[in-house]
Amino acid sequence: ATAAPKITVGFSYPIEANSYLKAIGTGAQKTLAKAGYGFYPLDAQLDGNKQISDIEAMITKKVSAMIVYPLDSKGLKPAMKKAKAAGIKVITMNYTVKDSKKRPAKPSLAQVQDAFPQRALAKAKVKYLNKVLPKGGNILYVGLGFPVYALEAHANMFKEELAKDSKYTYLGRVDNMSDDIEGGRQAVEQALIRYPNIDAIVAYNDPTALGAYAAIAARGKIDILIVGNQMQPEAVTSITKGEIDGSWDFNPVESGISLAELTISILKKEPKANWSKTIQTPAKFYDASTIDAFVPWTTRTNKIK
């Protein structure tokens, strides 16, 4: 029985029904709770106007700080400026999608970047391909059917990095039109027809990789490598079983913790040197041989006490 916390931090999800984003939020929430702060989560449900309304609602509720993962960082700027003008500290996630540790553009005081905008991830993917396909091969990229900056940035970087290695042929890109497993499956089913000689499929996230596996399994043709991304919980068993060959854990819980810690430092008015920057959360690779070492996100959030 604790008294209601006096200081509340808002958290604006682009969409809450996404295990990766939810893990970021939960990581932040628990960290904040530990420090005695309240948490006010709002869900834009992929609607840019709803995210503006959410930020306006946070201003109304007089939160002290807000953590925003913008759907559209350019379009959200006016709303965030209003928050700043109302004396609210604005901390962001993936606000800028350039691979840089420079401090983010105003009005964001600080940000956390996940692995999408980091060139290191694209490089790691090509390196992984070198390990599993040393003789080279034909690579298919599966992207998202509607634009999300960080994802597009990663897709381009991957294409560039792959082009540097002449062993590999970039066959092309197909898109998951509905951002779910079914969409991934349909995209890959069709790609298998168009490109009969795929050696590896690189997917923008694990549900898509799962869809790719379903498509390949239905063809009974399992000699295609599937490279996932983001390490969504539903992928873990698939990696154990070798259905998906590997995936990168984006460490969302750690991102959430970093966001919360940044927020706390800012609210406690710690010296600027401690927080005025971009924190890049590293991604860690797992495949069937290392998956046992993987600590599920929920376990990690439960550890925050």
Distance between CA atoms of 257 and 280, rounded to whole angstroms? 12
Antiparallel, parallel or unpaired: β 246-249 and 284-287: antiparallel
CB contact at 8 A, 11 and 42: yes
Residues of this chain, 2-31, that bind another protein according to CB under 8 A: 13, 16-19, 22
Query: Which of residues 160, 165, 234, 270 is near another protein by CB under 8 A?
Result: 234
Asked if residue 169 binds another protein (CB under 8 A), the reply is no
CA distances from 109 to 62, 102, 178, 263, 269 (A): 18, 11, 34, 9, 12
Tokens of 2: 């604790």
Q: How far is CA 291 from CA 40, 153, 184, 247, in A?
A: 34, 27, 23, 10
- 222 forms part of the interface with another protein (CB under 8 A): no
Residue from 161, 179, 254, 261 touching another protein (CB under 8 A): that is: 179
Q: Which residue stretches of the chain are H helix?
A: 19-34, 48-60, 73-85, 119-132, 149-163, 181-194, 206-219, 233-240, 252-267, 297-303
With CB under 8 A as the contact rule, the residue among 9, 28, 32, 59 that binds another protein is 59
- Is residue 279 close enough to count as binding another protein by CB under 8 A? no
Site for another protein contains 87 (CB under 8 A): no
- Contact with another protein (CB under 8 A): which of 1, 193, 273, 293? 193
Distance CA 10, CA 29 (A): 10
Cβ 69 to another protein shortest distance, Å = 14
Residue number, 69 or 275, with CB nearest to another protein: 69
194 interacts with another protein by CB under 8 A? yes
User: Is the distance from CB of 66 to CB of 11 less than 8 angstroms?
Assistant: yes
Nearest approach, Cβ of residue 66 and another protein (Å) = 13
Measure the CA–CA gap between 82 and 85, rounded to whole angstroms: 5
By CB under 8 A, is residue 50 in contact with another protein?
yes
**Interaction of residue 152 with another protein, rule CB under 8 A:** yes
Q: Which residues bind another protein (CB under 8 A)?
A: 13, 16-19, 22, 40-43, 45-50, 52-54, 56-57, 59-62, 71-78, 145-147, 149, 152, 172, 174-175, 177-182, 185-187, 189-194, 196, 207, 210-211, 214, 218-219, 232-234, 237-238
